[in-house]
Amino acid sequence: MSGCRRVGILGAGGIGGLLATTVQAAGHEVVVVTTTTGAAALAGSGFSLHSARFGVLRASPAVVTSLDRHVDVLFVAVKAPSLSAALDSVASRWLHGTAVVPLLNGVDHVDRLRHWVPGAVTVPATIKAEATRHAPGSVLHNGSSALVELARTPWTAAAADTAGAVLTSAGFEVGYHTAEAVVLWRKLTFLAPLALATTVVLGDLGTVRAERSGLLDLLVDDVCAIARAHGHADADPTAVRQTLASLPPTTRSSLLRDVEAGRVNELDAIGGALTRLAKRADIAVPTLTAVMAELEQRSDKRLVYPQQEPGGTI
């Protein structure tokens, strides 16, 4: 196909698998970079995706433990606590002019990526999609949402267009915004209350509504106050509440899924980062503080709290 790109995907989990299958099906050359364990588990079987939006797709892209070729676009789809180790598997010489598109939840990974490879163009981005890896290479995409929003500034425009074209060809909905802070905060203002509240109740959104009525609204107030203090002047609690109210009661978050499974999780990248940003802006965030204290004090051994990596910017 014309416009065929070489696309790297760092991480072979829910989001990495969703991308690997859809992007390869669109005719692009895909190389997935993952852990030694992950690569061994994928050998021979490759990826399969089950999705109401994309159908059933199978793909057998190249899988490597360290990037071995230049890529036009690199999607970063690892969990925040794994980011530093994952970046070690990608040598900067393969990324000259590459559009590096991090899809991590949170806000504090973007500076780290920019310092990591100055020769690449980091395009801050967010993804709204619910994708879960059930077994190596086997990914279930729940619902039909597959929206990627890219920051398209004067510095990132060409790279954002390249990444956006790849995603559009693969069947994603793609949105652009000229302010990086808006892209990152628009996702976090809705995701953080959802992730923290579902994790507190260890249940879905319906459980939150039934057991802790009012909690979501208060968390939205706190998170929007932090967003306004850090560059997203239009963060609007009413609009975020409407978005959350429109979600089905069965909605769960990736933070909850990770906590339930005892996997490394992003509590620090979400709630921890917000707490540090509130402190830096000298804003009182009573509900966020109480929720973080509750999660930290919980004796439930299913909760895992990885330390923030050295080199974090917040």
Ligand X SMILES: CC(C)(CO)C(=O)C(=O)O
Q: What residues make contact with ligand X under the rule CB under 6 A?
A: 105, 128-130, 191, 194, 253-254
**Using rule CB under 6 A, residue 192 touches ligand NDP:** no
Round to whole Å and give the CA distance between 57 and 53. 11
In sequence order, which ranges of the chain are alpha helices (DSSP H)?
14-25, 36-42, 83-87, 110-116, 157-169, 180-201, 205-211, 215-229, 237-245, 254-261, 267, 273-281, 286-297
- CA angle (119, 124, 126) in 5-degree steps: 145
194 binds, among ligand X, ligand NDP, none (CB under 5 to 8 A by kind): ligand X
What is the pairing mode between strands 121-122 and 125-135?
unpaired
Phi/psi region, residue 267 (left: phi>0; alpha: psi -120 to 50; beta: rest), is alpha
Q: Cβ of residue 13: shortest distance to ligand NDP, in angstroms?
A: 2
Round to whole Å and give the CA distance between 292 and 308. 15
Q: Cβ of residue 271: shortest distance to ligand X, in angstroms?
A: 13
SS3 207: helix
**Using rule CB under 6 A, residue 130 touches ligand NDP:** yes
Q: Cβ of residue 105: shortest distance to ligand X, in angstroms?
A: 5
**Using rule CB under 6 A, residue 112 touches ligand NDP:** no
What is the pairing mode between strands 125-135 and 138-151?
antiparallel
Which structure tokens are listed for 111?
Answer: 């500076």
Beta bridge partners of 149: 126, 175
168 binds, among ligand NDP, ligand X, none (CB under 5 to 8 A by kind): none
Which amino acid belongs to residue 14?
G
**Using rule CB under 6 A, residue 129 touches ligand NDP:** yes
85 binds, among ligand X, ligand NDP, none (CB under 5 to 8 A by kind): ligand NDP
**Using rule CB under 6 A, residue 254 touches ligand NDP:** yes
Q: Cβ of residue 289: shortest distance to ligand NDP, in angstroms?
A: 22
Which structure tokens are listed for 38?
Answer: 């992950």
Applying CB under 6 A, the site for ligand NDP has a residue count of 30
- Count of positions (residues) in the chain: 314
Binding letters toward ligand NDP, positions 65-104, x by CB under 6 A: ------------xxxx-x--xx--x-------------xx
Q: Cβ of residue 112: shortest distance to ligand X, in angstroms?
A: 19
User: In the complex with ligand X, which residue's Cβ is closer, 169 or 254?
Assistant: 254
**Using rule CB under 6 A, residue 137 touches ligand NDP:** no
Residue showing tokens 């609009």 = 239
Q: Cβ of residue 2: shortest distance to ligand NDP, in angstroms?
A: 30
Q: What are phi and psi of 77, to 5 degrees?
A: -135, 55
* Residue whose C-alpha is closest to residue 45's, from 64, 26, 29, 59: 59
**Using rule CB under 6 A, residue 35 touches ligand NDP:** yes
33 binds, among ligand NDP, ligand X, none (CB under 5 to 8 A by kind): ligand NDP
* CA dihedral sign, ordered 215, 221, 227, 232: positive
Q: Cβ of residue 165: shortest distance to ligand NDP, in angstroms?
A: 21
89 binds, among ligand NDP, ligand X, none (CB under 5 to 8 A by kind): ligand NDP
The H or E element that residue 93 is part of is none
Q: Cβ of residue 284: shortest distance to ligand NDP, in angstroms?
A: 27
- What are the residues binding ligand NDP (CB under 6 A)? 10-16, 33-35, 37-38, 77-80, 82, 85-86, 89, 103-105, 127, 129-131, 133, 254, 266
